């Protein structure tokens, strides 16, 4: 075990997959000589060469479409979108071609798309989004949102070995901020198994990605009130661990669903609806959602702070629920 940043865990995990599996290659803008905009692939080209660490032209469609073709020919491509926001340029390749190919034509498309996502740095409307819910709505795509360094490595290994198109959302605000122990050996973290970030008895927070830590800080403030909060980190949205959510609901009877993606049509709505359908009788309060509002991600710090759910927003939400 060694302590690593979230970013280092992604980088090490990817390097390890490339070392053990010759079919794995990396393609993206500035991933080679420059090592990627966030330096995840720093030093990769020296180790693996220019045909396994491919500097692509500014062409997200060609990158994702190219990965699809290469995957159908037996490779295990890992594409990097420089920012998750730019995946919109490759929507067709992902949603029209890759997502439907297995169901429609029997041809699996084992590709992994790495998506540096999330705000908190005044990245503005085009460098800060969390578009995971849009893709969770598309049958045939898997959606992965690691929150810890250990999961970042293990979920990436699982994504690369998975026979489906996998969208791997790596939250930029976790890259260098979050450090934790990561096992040295190779391991795969299974999809669809939520992680109990902290156990609690009175309230449940269902969340993923960077919001896990926002929830943690909020929960600490409620400790003082004698309110015990359980935080469930979903890890993957497709597939999502419905059982773990329902178990937590049955235990605490009060639920807050928290995400950094915008409100309407956000994945939190799916979770809330499922709880209403399957655990209505176990609830002691209406399911509460805390999300970003239905606006683009703003640039100026006070606006961005108003957009991204803050610790105090979650504290207020938890207190409301607690008092209900």
CA distance 214 to 134: 23
User: In terms of CB distance, is 158 or 291 closer to another protein?
Assistant: 158
Helix%, strand%, coil% for the chain, nearest 5: 40, 20, 40
Rounded to whole angstroms, the Cα distance separating 168 from 235 reads: 10
Q: Smaller CB distance to another protein: residue 59 or 300? A: 59
321 by DSSP, 3-state: which? helix
**b vs e for 192-223, b when ≥16 Cβ sit within 10 Å of the residue's Cβ?**
bebbebbebebbbbbbbbbbbbbbbebbebbe
Pairing of strands 236-238, 142-144: antiparallel
How many alpha carbons lie under 13 Å from residue 235 in its C-beta half-sphere?
A: 26
Q: Closest separation between CB of residue 236 and another protein, Å? A: 13
Q: For residue 183, count other CB atoms closer than 10 A to its CB.
A: 12
Nearer to another protein, 51 or 323 (CB): 51
User: What secondary structure does DSSP assign to 153-185, as a single string?
Assistant: HHHHHHHHHSSS-EEEEEETTTTTT-EEEE-SS
User: Which residues is 198 bridged to in the sheet?
Assistant: 231
* Residue with Cβ nearer another protein (101 or 291): 101
Assign 3-class secondary structure to 194-208. CEEEECCCCEEEEEC
Question: Which one is catalytic: 127, 171, 173, 259?
Answer: 127
* Selection from 113, 167, 145 nearest residue 233 by Cα: 145
Nearer to another protein, 54 or 211 (CB): 54
Cβ distance to another protein smaller for residue 106 or 226: 106
Work out how close the CB of 197 gets to another protein at its nearest, in angstroms, rounded to a whole number.
27
Least separation in angstroms between CB 22 and another protein: 9
Cβ of residue 122: shortest distance to another protein, in angstroms? 30
Quote the tokens at residue 212: 């896990």
Binding site for another protein (CB under 8 A): 25, 51-52, 54, 56-57, 59, 61-62, 64-75, 77, 92-93, 96-97, 100-110, 139-140, 142, 163-164
Residue 57 CB, shortest distance to another protein, in Å, is 6
Is it true that the peptide bond before 40 is cis, omega within 30 degrees of 0? Answer: no
Query: Minimum CB separation from another protein for residue 188, in Å?
Result: 12
Please provide the distance, in angstroms rounded to a whole number, between the alpha carbons at the two ends of the chain: 43
Catalytic residue check, 263: no
Catalytic residue numbers read: 127
């Amino acid at each position: 075990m060694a302590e690593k940043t979230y970013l280092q865990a992604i980088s090490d995990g990817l390097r390890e997959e490339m070392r053990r599996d010759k079919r794995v290659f990396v393609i993206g803008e500035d991933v080679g000589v420059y090592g990627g905009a966030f330096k995840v692939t720093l030093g990769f080209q020296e180790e693996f060469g220019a045909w396994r660490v491919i500097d692509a032209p500014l062409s997200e469609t060609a990158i994702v479409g190219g990965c699809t073709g290469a995957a159908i020919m037996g490779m295990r491509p890992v594409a990097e979108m420089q920012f998750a926001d730019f995946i919109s340029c490759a929507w067709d390749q992902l949603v029209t071609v890759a997502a439907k190919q297995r169901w429609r034509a029997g041809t699996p498309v084992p590709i992994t798309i790495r998506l540096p996502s999330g705000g908190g740095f005044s990245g503005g409307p085009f460098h800060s989004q969390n578009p995971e819910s849009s893709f969770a709505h598309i049958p045939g795509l898997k959606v992965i949102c690691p929150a810890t360094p250990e999961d970042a490595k293990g979920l990436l290994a699982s994504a690369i070995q998975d026979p489906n198109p996998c969208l791997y959302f790596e939250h930029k605000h976790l890259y260098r901020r979050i450090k934790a122990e990561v096992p040295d050996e190779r391991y795969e973290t299974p999809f669809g198994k939520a992680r109990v970030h902290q156990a609690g008895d009175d309230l449940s927070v269902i969340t993923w990605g960077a919001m896990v830590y926002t929830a943690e800080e909020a929960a600490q403030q409620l400790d003082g009130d004698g309110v015990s909060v359980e935080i469930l980190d979903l890890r993957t949205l497709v597939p999502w661990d419905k059982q773990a959510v329902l178990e937590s609901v049955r235990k605490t009877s009060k639920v807050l669903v928290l995400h950094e993606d915008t409100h309407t049509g956000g994945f939190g709505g799916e979770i809330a609806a499922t709880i209403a359908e399957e655990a209505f009788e176990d609830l002691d309060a209406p399911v509460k959602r805390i999300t970003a509002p239905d606006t683009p991600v703003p640039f100026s710090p006070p606006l961005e702070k108003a957009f991204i759910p803050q610790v105090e927003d979650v504290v207020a939400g938890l207190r409301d629920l607690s008092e209900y």
